[in-house]
Amino acid sequence: MKILVAVKRVIDPYVKIRVKTDNTGVETQNIKMSMNPFDEIAVEEAVRLKEKNDAHEIIAVSIGPDASQETLRHALALGADRAILVRIERHLCSLNVAKILQKIVEKEQPQLVLMGKQSIDGDNNQTPQMLAALLDWPQATFASNLTVQEKTIEVTREIDGGLETLAMPLPAVVSTDLRLNEPRYASLPNIMKAKRKTLDIIECDALGLTLKEHIQIISTMPPPSRSGGVKVSSVSELINKLKFEAKVL
Amino acid sequence: MSTLVIVEHNNESMHSATRNTLSAAMELKQDVILLVAGYQCQAVAEEAAAIAGVHAVWLIDNIVFEHQLAETMAELITSIANSFTAILAPASTFGKNLLPRVAARLDVAQVSDVSRIIDKDTFEHPIYAGNAIETVKVLDAIKILTIRTTAFDAITESQSSCCIERIDKSIQESSTRFVKHELSRSERPDLGSAKIVVSGGRGLQSAEKFKLIEELADALGAAVGASRAAVDAGFVPNDYQVGQTGKIVAPSLYIAVGISGAVQHLAGMKDSKVIVAINKDEDAPILQIATYGLVGDLFELVPELIEQLKVN
């Protein structure tokens, strides 16, 4: 089985972000960037499927500026076999990302597409579902367990009330939740090896897609700040405050 | 034109998130139609029809929709979408799973987790774990929105029931098969809509000791939540998790016990009205946003708190 894994370069999850003073977005200059944590889980799952001989090839794909090559090299160091960068400078909505991925899927013909359930910058949680819709493939979102049989997969999903298990035929799109696995670290030899793996760069314009603008970003603002409160010295003072000051008890 | 709200339910009763979503739908100032798709779900349709402001309920009762799989639900919604200028669902796992599939089928964008409706095509939603608020204008004719339920008050008033229209569409069965559910059973209020939430973190040390959080919750009639650290350590099941990747809550009172307050956790609870933090570390980030902070050993403070709540 061939697996396609989509990865995104985002601001590192441990960075405290700053909204630009002109409210056009958040500051990304000279800020530490990483692979979106959910995508790391998707790569790890693909590598594990390969180690179990459920998969024979893993292709990592990213859409974005030149710098996204770094993210793809990381995916290669973690165990992906080759990588594709679809180069584009401008910001894309999830639907346009899904349309680009659809082109790559049609070209590469994977049986499984693994993606993170959401990117931690836009927090949209849309692209896997949209890709599945465009391909008319079944979808399994928020996966916390995945078993591959011959022509089907069984996926346990994290839902609000607990867990749900679905079985679906391949090809399919699966989006990963945090508890699917614990991603490994890339070892130095693997990082060195990754430098020699194939990374193809495709210009987005060469895909022959007409990408319509669906969403216009008007502004990005900092959230209303929460003023720090007071420290109380005892349990009885706390109960008192909750009852008579905040009136929530 | 009208607005369509997808009702989240379990074939027996409606999920309360629908009432918040409906409240957001009302702000679009059009007739609101609720869609109940399920199997043997007449009771849900009746419940939906009795909510104040609902113009009509469309009911499709067919075994194909028993588990409301995204594939079949999306086909159904796509087939009726032309009658609407907006389609809304709660930003629950149900809504998040379903609506992007509908949007792509219709070749339109989706706005996730809408926290404010500015006008019929301009919306606010949080990004970067709630550390920025983005305002977007949707250029497509049909707006597909998932609604952050904690940002809109639930509609609890009732009306003499509006009409329930049965719709009949032949939707092909999906190739996806439902295998099983493993649902957490709890007598406590639902985490997403509880007025008081008590959450525990890594500071609780073990699943055994986490019971202290449950005792405190019971003393307050509260729901129980947890940080990712507590979930990863196996103290509680995953669906207790509050945060960017778990549930978003905004109760009147949120009590964080043994939780440091990482960005990812704050994303899920910082809109709570009153936040109480009980933590032994004076420098824990949670104490910077807490309305009331109590510094000390939770294993002494929490039992004392339970005791005093019982006395009062």
Residues B122 and B7 in one domain: yes
Mean of pLDDT values over A178-194: 96
Residues B138 and B241 in one domain: no
Q: Report yes or no on B25 lying in a domain.
A: yes
pLDDT for A226 equals 82
Query: A176 pLDDT exceeds 80?
Result: yes
pLDDT for B185 equals 80
Residues near B232 by Cβ (< 8 Å), separated by ≥ 6? Answer: A179
Q: Return residues 5-44 of B near A (CB < 8 Å).
A: none
pLDDT tier, B172 (very low <50, low <70, confident <90, very high otherwise): confident
Nearest to A239 by CA among B255, B188, B259: B255
pLDDT digits over B17-51, tens only? 999 999 999 999 999 999 999 999 999 999 999 99
Q: State the Cα–Cα distance between residues B181 and A122, nearest whole angstrom.
A: 30
Q: Return residues 245-264 of B near A (CB < 8 Å).
A: 245, 247, 252-253, 263-264
Asked if A138 and B295 come within 8 Å (Cβ–Cβ), the reply is no
Residues B60 and B202 in one domain: no
In the block, residue with structure tokens 């959401």: A118
Q: Report yes or no on B173 lying in a domain.
A: no
Asked if A162 and B247 come within 8 Å (Cβ–Cβ), the reply is no
**Distance in angstroms between the alpha carbons of the first and the last residue of chain A:** 58
Secondary structure (3-state) at B149? helix
Superfamily (CATH H level) for A2-221: HUPs (3.40.50.620)
pLDDT digits over B51-74, tens only? 999 999 999 999 999 999 999 999
pLDDT tier, B79 (very low <50, low <70, confident <90, very high otherwise): very high
pLDDT for A200 equals 98
Query: B312 pLDDT exceeds 80?
Result: no
Token pair, residue B133, equals 């608020």
CA distance A11 to chain B (A): 9
Tell me if B197 sits within 8 A of B255, measured CB to CB. Answer: yes
Mean pLDDT, chain B, integer: 96
Secondary structure letter of residue A29 according to DSSP: T
Residues B107 and B221 in one domain: no
Q: State the Cα–Cα distance between residues A120 and A105, nearest whole angstrom.
A: 24
Mean of pLDDT values over B83-97: 97
Domain span including residue B26: 2-166
Asked if A161 and B239 come within 8 Å (Cβ–Cβ), the reply is yes
CB contacts, 8 Å: B248 with chain A: none
> Where do the domains of chain A lie?
2-221
Secondary structure (3-state) at A23? coil
**Distance in angstroms between the alpha carbons of the first and the last residue of chain B:** 54
ipTM, two decimals, is 0.96
CB contacts, 8 Å: A132 with chain B: 101
Secondary structure (3-state) at B297? coil
Q: Report yes or no on B190 lying in a domain.
A: no
pLDDT for B245 equals 87
Domains in chain B: how many in total? 2
Last residue of a domain, one of B144, B166, B188: B166
Q: State the Cα–Cα distance between residues B47 and B42, nearest whole angstrom.
A: 9
pLDDT digits over B261-289, tens only? 999 999 999 999 999 999 999 999 999 99
Tell me if B152 sits within 8 A of B53, measured CB to CB. Answer: no
Q: State the Cα–Cα distance between residues A81 and A184, nearest whole angstrom.
A: 16
Mean of pLDDT values over A88-112: 97
Tell me if B61 sits within 8 A of B39, measured CB to CB. Answer: yes
pLDDT for A229 equals 87
pLDDT for B187 equals 87
Q: Report yes or no on B185 lying in a domain.
A: no
Token pair, residue A13, equals 């999850």
Mean pLDDT, chain A, integer: 96
Last residue of a domain, one of B166, B182, B215: B166
Q: State the Cα–Cα distance between residues A5 and A10, nearest whole angstrom.
A: 16
Handedness of CA B70, B74, B75, B80 (dihedral sign): positive
pLDDT digits over B194-217, tens only? 999 999 999 999 999 999 999 999
Asked if B100 and A241 come within 8 Å (Cβ–Cβ), the reply is no
Distances (CA, A) of A177 to A13, B88, B190, B198, B238: 16, 24, 22, 24, 11
Residues B156 and B251 in one domain: no
pLDDT tier, A29 (very low <50, low <70, confident <90, very high otherwise): very high
> What CATH number is associated with residue B23?
3.40.50.620
Residues B132 and B221 in one domain: no
Token pair, residue A28, equals 């990304």
